[in-house]
Amino acid sequence: MQGLASFLCGLIFGSGLIISGMTQPARVLGFLDIFGRWDPTLAFVMAGALAISSLGYALARRQGRPVFAAEHLWPNRTDIDQPLIVGSVLFGIGWGLAGLCPGPALANLASLSPRVIVFVIAMIAGMSAMDLWKLRVPSATAMEDAALANSDG
């Protein structure tokens, strides 16, 4: 049942991207072109998404237990660290160069556009490289946790 719920959520998300025009890289690039022919469409889409997700979070927080899971998995980190900043910068650079981010790129795969296919391959390669890097380089948080565990013993 959880797989069906995930599929339906993805279908709704992808449909929203297509209906709003956010799968068109020119729209996103138009939003980022603040000194040229600026297109505010993305701002309206973001504001609508923020309103709907805020309502969803408020309802979910009131609910004792989620419908399709054993427990809520709320984010628990609030710190701003170097990987978050570097990842945000890389995401922004890629978004500005291609006019695509992961959601619209996956929705755009149906177009079989070579540009989108190359973007998705590069995105998967980048994600895989990050996973490999995380396996080889222990994170500062993991090292701090290990140091705290050793000092308690």
Task: Give residue 141's pLDDT.
Answer: 56
Task: Give residue 43's pLDDT.
Answer: 93
Q: Within the chain, which residues score under 50 in pLDDT? A: 153
Task: Give residue 153's pLDDT.
Answer: 45
Helices (H) and strands (E) in the chain, counts: 7, 0
Sequence-separated (6 or more) residues with CB below 8 Å from residue 117: 109
State how far the Cα of 72 lies from the Cα of 81, in Å rounded to an integer.
Answer: 25
**SS3 at position 77:** coil
Task: Give residue 48's pLDDT.
Answer: 93
Q: How many CB atoms lie within 10 A of CB 29?
A: 19
**3-state helix, strand and coil shares in percent for the chain, rounded to the nearest 5:** 75, 0, 25
State how far the Cα of 96 lies from the Cα of 84, in Å rounded to an integer.
Answer: 18
Token digits for 77? Answer: 């980190």
Type of residue numbered 133:
W
Sequence-separated (6 or more) residues with CB below 8 Å from residue 101: 28, 91, 94, 95
Sequence-separated (6 or more) residues with CB below 8 Å from residue 105: 116, 119, 120, 123
**SS3 at position 108:** helix
